[in-house]
Amino acid sequence: MKGLFQYNWEVRHAWFKWCLSQPQEELVKKRSGGMGSIKKNLFHIVDVEVSWIYAILEKPDIQPDYSHYQTIQQIARFSDLHRSEIESVIFNYSSAFEHLPVKAAWSDEVCTQGDILRHLIAHEIHHIGQISVWTRESGSAPVSASYIGRKI
């Protein structure tokens, strides 16, 4: 679990950095699939991670408004802002928490902590895979997605 979260944060950070080298129109260009643009995919990844971790922490969902996030730097700050709370869940996680029930405000279903963390891992990698295709379609090289070689 921890290694895959660290991988996701490292890859996400590399994409934020990559975005800073791109013209803004590439980041907001309407694309098919995912959340519809590189910038929206990155915002969505952070938003979903914070929302589920807040549900585990029994904190109210913050529901950020995408229109307030005009730049990649703002999304990167949003990603950094809640990292310590997220780490408090991830780094303290053990099998004792696996089946603990979590009720998110936006769902009727009761989930378990283990399922939520695995959902977050898969959710981010999936949306990053989408960005990698859009990037190749625009003629750029994507950030490496390899887990091996990172020394996490």
Contact flag: residue 118 with a second copy (CB under 8 A): yes
Residue 9: which of 62, 69, 61, 76 has the closest Cα?
A: 76
15 CB-contact burial (10 Å; exposed 0-12 / middle 13-18 / buried 19+):
buried
Q: Least CB distance from residue 77 to a second copy, whole Å?
A: 25
Q: Does residue 137 bind a second copy (CB under 8 A)?
A: yes
**Residue number with CB closer to a second copy (1 or 64):** 1
DSSP state of 147: S
Question: Rounded to the nearest 5 degrees, what angle is found at the Cα of 88, between the Cα atoms of 68 and 86?
Answer: 25
How many residues of this chain interact with a second copy, rule: CB under 8 A? 36
Closest to a second copy by CB, 80 vs 137, is 137
Asked if 101 and 111 count as a contact pair (C-beta separation under 8 A), the reply is yes
Residue 100 contacts a second copy per CB under 8 A? no
* Residues contributing to the site for a second copy (CB under 8 A): 3-4, 7, 31-34, 109, 111, 114-116, 118-119, 121-123, 125-130, 132-137, 142, 145-149, 152
